A = this chain, B = another copy of it.
Amino acid sequence: MRMKVLANMPLFAGLTEEQLDGIDNRMISLSWAEGERLYGAGESADHLYVVAAGQVKAVQSTRDGQNTVVDVLAPGDFFGAISGRGGLGYAETVDALVTTCALRMDTDAFRQVLVEYPQVALRVLDTVSASLAAARSTASRHAAATVAQRVATTLLGLADRFGQPGASGNGMLIQLPLTRADLAGMTGSTPESVSRAMSRFREEGVIDSGRRWTAILDREALLSEAAGTSAEPVTDASAAN
């Protein structure tokens, strides 16, 4: 069972069965119920996790109580202590969004794996680089966009990663137990502002949403909301600076 999970992960793609077996031997599998905590910020950071089933959210908190959801992880994604962090504990808190099963490995063992299999190390590097680019891109957009734009962008991103073809037509269903507070944490806003933005989208027939679920009814309209102009999405050439 676990072997099949490992074999299907992009991270370990291309390894032989024996090699996968060697990696499997260094991991243990664990599971958590919805809402349970995998680890908290500040705890000793010496494990790497790989999601086998379910979803988790990674949250970074500031002293003044602001919680930012920095990532949502799905099966195949890895997270936790990749590097030593110089003795510092985990930077984020990770909670299970749904019943979740994950594999865990000591950071030391993982680094040993990276040394043994350089292709895996490169793949990890690619993934982390992509995350860095994504984080910077998000930061860039957050700087100037309105809350509605950020919410629209966030919903589109979630739909791309977690959306299931909806019941009717072009609808995409995002079935994640994310609260308004979580979405606020992903958009750098507040639950109230997120609710207002989503209420407007709902009135306009762009989305439908309820308690802990969201459906995208009109992807095009949401795209133009994200772009800034809720009116006409004319495709004009972007003037570089």
Contact = CB atoms under 8 A, between A and B. Distances in A.
**Interface majority SS (helix, strand, loop, mixed), chain A:** helix
Interface residues of A, number: 50
B68 A133 contact: no
Interface stretch (A49-57, A118-126, A164-172): A118-126
A22 interface: no
B111 A122 contact: yes
A84 interface: yes
A125 B83 contact: yes
Contact of A84 (B65, B82, B126): B126
A241 interface: yes
Contact of A70 (B60, B92, B139): B139
Interface in A36-67: 60-67
Nearest to A188: B143
Given A114-B122, A128-B125, A140 B83 contact: no
Interface of A: 60-68, 70, 82-85, 91-92, 111, 114-115, 118-119, 121-122, 124-126, 128-133, 135-144, 188-189, 227-228, 238-241
Given A128-B129, A144-B188, 9 more contacts: A65-B239, A70-B140, A85-B130, A92-B136, A114-B118, A121-B121, A121-B125, A135-B135, A139-B188
